[in-house]
Amino acid sequence: MAEQKPCDFLMGVIVPFWTPVDAEGKLDTAGTRGMVDYLADSGAVRSIFGRSGMGKWHTFTVDETKRFTDVLVPACRKRGVGVLIGAMGECIGRERGVRPEAARYTEQSIELVNYAQRAGADAAVLVIPDMLTMKDTPPPEVVWQYYKAVHDATRLPLVLYQPGGTDPAYHLSPDLMRRLLSLPRIAGLKLSTSQEEVFAPIAELVRGTGFALIAGDERFYLRALELGACGVIGGGCSAYPEVLWAVRYFYAKGDAVRARQAQETVWRLMDVKKGLDACVLWKQVMTASGGKFQPYDRSGTPPYPRSVVAEALQEWRRLTAPSRRLCHAQRSRNRDRMA
């Protein structure tokens, strides 16, 4: 049987959208459009994942998710980038250990997947439900029952998401993945780990099937590509998408030296925000570079002083310049070929 390829919108740089909000934490619709424009202008972004972990998905109500979807999907369509919607049920209070009721959470997930489909999204993302418990049901069976229930009640491609910090009892083992792969609309997985012993068995299981295995830890991106990943979803996809684009670009060309150099640049960029709230700092750097959105986040972290932002901006410009030039030149060549 010929090797199958993942869906195009699940390959390359996929941005875990940092939800634009105002100073009170309310959704910023104009800022949402502005951030999509900023990311699309990079030429490096293939898709945007709205209501992501970086975007504080657990702070969204069902109604907020619908309103956000109604703004994000058209904005992405206008700019020609793919769009994925985090369609998890409500999990308000997750950071305090509050657990939603399993049946209601599942019903809300179904409702939001179907809403995302009607809005025109390419896929829905569903986090591993380690916040759910069912009486006398072991965690792997809880995961299976949740995903199967949502899958069977919807028609949109589904992308699974195992964040770092997921309760190990709920992790996607190869055996559980085999069961999930029997569901035809399970299209991909964002696997957030830098541990090869976790990533490699899943990669081997899905190799050549058309299933999109996506690196969820940008520090591990190059090695994930070597193991069989087709893309990346990480915070750097917002702040320096061209550098992550370059990792895959050089890897695909067989240029191991420059692929490694690009990956090392990712590591240096991650050091820029050490000890700081990355969502807030990078939003400030992005707005200083032309982004039209506000520098706030639902974490409650206030914007950083100008001196801090100026230092980060200078380092960002220095480290990203080669990849930005290459990415923009490649985009121009592609346009010329299509003309």
The confidence score (pLDDT) of residue 95 equals: 78
Q: Which of 32-46, 93-107, 240-254, 304-318 has the lowest mean pLDDT?
A: 93-107
Q: Which pTM does this prediction carry?
A: 0.96
What are 180-217's pLDDT values in tens digits? 999 999 999 999 999 999 999 999 999 999 999 999 99
In this predicted structure, what is the pLDDT of residue 97? 78
What average pLDDT does this structure show over 232-252?
Answer: 97
Q: Is 202 left (phi over 0), alpha (psi -120 to 50) or beta?
A: alpha
d(CA 204, CA 114): 31
Q: What is the pLDDT confidence band of residue 222, given thresholds at 50, 70 and 90?
A: very high
Amino acid at residue number 310? A
Q: Is 324 exposed, middle or buried (0-12, 13-18, 19+ CB in 10 A)?
A: buried
The rounded distance, in Å, linking the Cα atoms of 17 and 237 is: 9
What is the rounded CA–CA span in Å between residue 220 and residue 328?
25
Task: Go through the domains of the chain in sequence order and give each one's CATH number.
Answer: 9-338 (3.20.20.70)
Instruction: Quote the CA–CA distance of 56 and 62 in Å, as a whole number.
Output: 14
> In the structure, what pLDDT confidence band is assigned to residue 94 with cuts at 50, 70 and 90?
confident
Q: What is the mean pLDDT of residues 66-80?
A: 98
Residue 2 CA to residue 255 CA, distance in Å, equals: 26
- Residue 157 pLDDT greater than 70, yes or no: yes
- 156 touches 116 (CB < 8 A): yes
Does pLDDT of 300 surpass 80?
yes
Which CB contacts under 8 angstroms, 24+ apart, belong to 201-209?
Answer: 201/174, 202/172, 202/174, 202/177, 203/227, 203/228, 203/229, 204/228, 205/174, 205/177, 205/178, 205/181, 206/177, 206/181, 208/3, 208/4, 209/4, 209/181
pLDDT over 90 at 68, yes or no: yes
pLDDT band at 336 (very low <50, low <70, confident <90, very high): low
* Helix (H) or strand (E) segment spanning residue 242: helix 241-253
* pLDDT over 80 at 338, yes or no: no
